[in-house]
Structure 1
Amino acid sequence: MKSILPGALDAVKVSVIFSFMAWLKNRIHGRFLNRMPVKEADVVQLAPGQMNFRTIEIWGRDAFVLKIASDAYASFTARPHPGWIGFLLPVSWTGVFRMNGYRHQPNQASYLDGTHDYTVACQESFRLLVGVRRNVMNAVITEISGTVDMDFLSGSRVFGDCAECAMELEEMIASLQADTQKNAETFEGMNLSEDQERAVVAQMANWLLEKMEKPTPAWLGQIEDYHITTTVRDAIRTRPISEHVQLDDLYKIAGVGKNRLHQSFVNVYGAPPVRYLNMRRVWRARQFLLDPTNTDCKIGDVASQFGYPSSGRFAKNYQDVFDELPSNTVKRAKSMARR
């Protein structure tokens, strides 16, 4: 495991561990998405295993700090709000940490300018995410530098030599944890005071001013592999989940050949197109089964709804990925609904 903060995962002491699907439904599609400056989010588990998620959330009016740890290999795609910018600092991970097809190296961080979608694909990762309102960051940078440059914050990119910033941010989070109290019942997280929020924004502004003066390893909005896969992904999402998408259709959608499409998916998601489509389908089926409003459904009907030729084929595929039968997932969803 690559790491710039040894033992960082062990430091997530106040995190709440829960089913990723429960998090996805209650957080991304509920209160969490309402607080996050994200217009749309999409998650696909890309390898067998249990998807567990641990977070620490610290919220302010114009900034927020998240500390995120996840297990199973998955991709997370977000369509951010253009009124916000973000800083993503991968701390540790297993294998490859992909951001829009770029392979993150230790001590690197991504600056997200809010105008592009971004996709993270990783396994057993621990990362820090800071968000700041664009107009607030512009004002602070102008105050610090004494100049006004409206294009200064344009262009998502990768920065190097970020170990010190990550450690400073870790120390800040630890301090904020000590000064605030988490509301574990509502999952609304901790709150930043005005002074704490100003400190977070000032630290990020100084860091950004320093990094913008140095060459960037990658411009995240200009990676061709990501544009190819995004074109395909957006086209797939408009089709019924039960529809079998042929590879020939994907080549036509992307406007590239078989080898180019294959390599683009591997570079962005760490998985070829066929596996991505299959995992997306079974993941969507799992979302459906974990929804408390669907607990009276028949497994055969679900298999048909998600394009499987038989309930037996669906059950085997499902168990291979999630290590449980669809019927067991439904039982668990019923139990969770009664709590």
Structure 2
Amino acid sequence: MPARTADWLVRAPGDIERIEARFSGAAFAPHRHDTYAIGVTLEGVQGFDYRGAARQSLPGQMVVLHPDELHDGRAGGGEGTFRYRTAYVSPAVIQDILGGCGLPFVAGGVCGDPRLSAAVWALLGDLERPLAGLELQDALYDLARALQAVAGGARPLGPHNRQAAARSRDYIEANLENSLSLEDLERVTGHDRWRLSRDFRAMFGASPYRYLILRRLDRARDMLLAGVSGAQAAHGCGFSDQSHFCRQFKKAFGLTPEAWLGAMRRAHDHSIPA
């Protein structure tokens, strides 16, 4: 799918992924993130299918997509354009702040609660500079607490081996090019592989395999932006071939690598309002 001239996407600097984007028509195919996608609609009507229903977010409303939930993206009514900002926040960060409680779930994916609005704008209000140190930590703390309040509280998660899940994550990130199995993770952590799979999902919002694929794709996006070809990125990030890479990319981000890269390359033509 060729990139459209009206579409663009800007990535803010910093340790957490924050974007502003403008898209038209049917923007994204159905896809999943292993993070929370939490943002605000700025212009137009942001439409999407989520948990079996069509949703719409108007300017000023928040969009909160739970980790690993299938969704798409389009202009309301299927025509026109929409502009939005989004932050992608690891569920492990939210859990750490909430003391190991279950992940807050915002029903319907659209919210106008002023508590959440204040927390989201603290994170997304200024995309021209990175948020770092205490500023970022304060913003994430306020966001987690606002999510918990809007979702109606969260029960304790129950007994999970958080240390084993974290060691598994670190091992996956250090071995992105390799073929991994639950047996490998069991050997590294000393934790039963099926319990480890459960604990990993509770901590990071995705299965170990999904986490591996998405970290490979994150590396591949950086390679594409650096001018590496799709075939080289696929080979360098552990995908079996370029076709497999393209399928996984679209499943994760809702765009083909070519369409995503085309939107990114035009980003310098667009300023981000303060």
Within the alignment, does 1:28 sit opposite 2:15 as a pair? yes
Within the alignment, does 1:46 sit opposite 2:65 as a pair? no
Alpha carbons of 1:123 and 1:272: their partners in 2 closer, same or farther (altered >3 Å)? farther
Unaligned runs of 5+ in 1: 1-17, 32-43, 56-67, 81-85, 89-98, 108-121, 128-165, 190-203, 205-215
Partners in 1 of 2:108 and 2:212 — Cα distance?
19
Match of 2:180 among 223, 238, 245: 245
Partners in 1 of 2:180 and 2:269 — Cα distance?
38
Contact map agreement 1:265 1:273 (CA 8 A) in 2: yes
Secondary structure of the residue aligned to 1:53 is strand
2:15 corresponds to which letter in structure 1? I
Superimposed CA distance per residue, residues 231-261 of structure 1 (whole angstroms, 9 cap, x where no aligned partner): 1112223x24322223221111121222211
Contact map agreement 1:319 1:325 (CA 8 A) in 2: yes
Alpha carbons of 1:303 and 1:231: their partners in 2 closer, same or farther (altered >3 Å)? same
RMSD of aligned Cα (Å): 4.9
Alpha carbons of 1:105 and 1:276: their partners in 2 closer, same or farther (altered >3 Å)? closer
Contact map agreement 1:73 1:124 (CA 8 A) in 2: no
Partners in 2 of 1:274 and 1:52 — Cα distance?
24
Partners in 2 of 1:29 and 1:72 — Cα distance?
17
2:166 corresponds to which letter in structure 1? T
In structure 2, what is the equivalent of residue 261 of structure 1? 196
In structure 1, what is the equivalent of residue 102 of structure 2? 103
Partners in 1 of 2:92 and 2:206 — Cα distance?
19
Alpha carbons of 1:27 and 1:264: their partners in 2 closer, same or farther (altered >3 Å)? same
In structure 1, what is the equivalent of residue 251 of structure 2? 320
Alpha carbons of 1:276 and 1:170: their partners in 2 closer, same or farther (altered >3 Å)? closer
In structure 2, what is the equivalent of residue 76 of structure 1? 90
Partners in 2 of 1:261 and 1:170 — Cα distance?
33
Contact map agreement 2:64 2:109 (CA 8 A) in 1: yes
Contact map agreement 2:91 2:103 (CA 8 A) in 1: no
Match of 1:335 among 247, 261, 266: 266
Higher relative contact order (CA 8 A, sep 6+): 2
Unaligned runs of 5+ in 2: 1-7, 19-31, 42-61, 69-88, 132-141, 143-153
Alpha carbons of 1:320 and 1:104: their partners in 2 closer, same or farther (altered >3 Å)? closer
What is the total number of aligned residue pairs between the two structures? 188
Within the alignment, does 1:230 sit opposite 2:161 as a pair? no
CA drift of 1:270 comes to 3.9
Secondary structure of the residue aligned to 1:324 is coil
Alpha carbons of 1:79 and 1:250: their partners in 2 closer, same or farther (altered >3 Å)? same
Q: What TM-score do you get using the length of structure 2 for normalisation?
A: 0.50
Contact map agreement 2:91 2:205 (CA 8 A) in 1: no
1:45 corresponds to which letter in structure 2? H
Q: Matched residues, percent identical?
A: 18
Alpha carbons of 1:227 and 1:333: their partners in 2 closer, same or farther (altered >3 Å)? same
Q: What TM-score do you get using the length of structure 1 for normalisation?
A: 0.42
1:245 corresponds to which letter in structure 2? L
Computing the radius of gyration over CA atoms, which structure comes out larger, 1 or 2?
Answer: 1
CA drift of 1:299 comes to 0.6
